[in-house]
Amino acid sequence: MRELEIPMPDTPETARDRRLARLAQLDPRPELLSYGPDAIQPALKAWLAARGEPSYRVDQIVQAVYRRRVDGWKSVTPLAKGLRDELERAFRFPSITLAELRESADGTRKYLWTLVDGEAVESVMIPSARRDTFCVSSQAGCALACAFCATGMIGYKRNLTVGEIVDQVRHLQRDRELAGHGANLVFMGMGEPLLNWENLRVALELLVDERYFDIGARRITVSTVGLPDRIVALAEEFPQVRLAVSLHAARDEVRDEIVPINRRYPLRQLLAACRLWCESTGKRMTFEYLHLPGVNDRPADVAALGRAVEGLSVQVNLMRYNPVPGADFRRPTAAETLRFRDALRRATRVPVTIRRSRGLDIEGACGQLRLARGGSMVEGISAE
């Protein structure tokens, strides 16, 4: 498979992300939660054996970390204090620290996490009667600069490590376990997940593995603005994981302006990858479409979306634009979005639904994540 040619930091393996490399200087301990599913137990077993500890200690640690979701080594109480102290010196755990929790009037919770280098990310928990939705981040900031997105205005800081990705899930699971709810997991937080492919891939392996997180792959959705090669790779490696594409426009001249990555990967390439994904997985995908009045809701836009969905197993998830300071768009009225939905239904003959915005009062809705603490921006360090 051809490697994507994107002029921006990608994965730690390429040595192009200096910020990730700097983490080892800040804290040289290996990050426990970044071990892949087949590596963590051998690593712990070897470390314990070197200290004369029995192998069953591995199961005790794994149960505490992934099942009981303890908040640090001090809480792995089946182990003696001396051994816990040694583990603290040997392995970095946990990977993220809660800086602030804000709760919306509708019950949505937004979590602000600080990372070991002083950068920050957010994740969101959207409650429902039976099954919550966890919205997690894959990067600190984002390089893609979509015109309507607060995260894109921050700019790119760095990729998240595997541990920083899965620790968001671990914390949210612990926060909600008393509710007795199941959870859907969506990679729709800060960053472009497919630009952090290697770390996302290992994180997905951990999340679906029954020994660790044991989240059904059908409960996981990866959202992307449209990186064709990586969409195909996702289908090949995780055919049960769901795909959502942030389309937002079906005409190149419009999408070029509001989703700049379209200038590198135009719609013909993106739609071809979507068709390959549908054929390979046999599943229905989702097009996310943010309603921007006067920008992407003209008759030509409706007709173009009708052509784009031909031959695709797809549903359209229509969203009203959520206000972002500094973005020059207007939030449509409910009536405007209803009329637009009806026009799309007539033109596309595919399911078109309107997603209700949650967490607007805490800037936790789609496109609003911008590291706001009590209304003020949080500044991360510059890790050059």
Q: Active-site residue numbers?
A: 122, 366
Task: Give CA–CA dist 6/195, Å, rounded.
Answer: 9
Task: Give CA–CA dist 47/61, Å, rounded.
Answer: 12
Q: Which residue has the tokens 């973005």?
A: 327
ω into residue 293 within 30 of 0, thus cis?
A: no
Task: Give CA–CA dist 130/179, Å, rounded.
Answer: 9
Cα 34 from chain centroid?
Answer: 16
* Residue 257, strand partner residues: none
Return the HEC string of 201-267.
HHHHHHHHCCCCCCCCHHHEEEEECCCHHHHHHHHHHCCCCEEEEECCCCCHHHHHHHCHHHHCCCH
CB 120 within 8 A of CB 112: yes
* Residue 242, strand partner residues: 221
Q: Which residue has the tokens 């920008």?
A: 295
Task: Give CA–CA dist 113/169, Å, rounded.
Answer: 12
Instruction: Determine the straight-line distance between the first and last CA of the chain, rounded to whole angstroms.
Output: 31
Q: Could you write out the DSSP letters of every residue in 25-93?
A: HH--S-BGGGS-TTTHHHHHHHHHHTTT--THHHHHHHIIIIIS--SSGGG-TTS-HHHHHHHHHHSB-
Greatest CA separation for the chain? 72
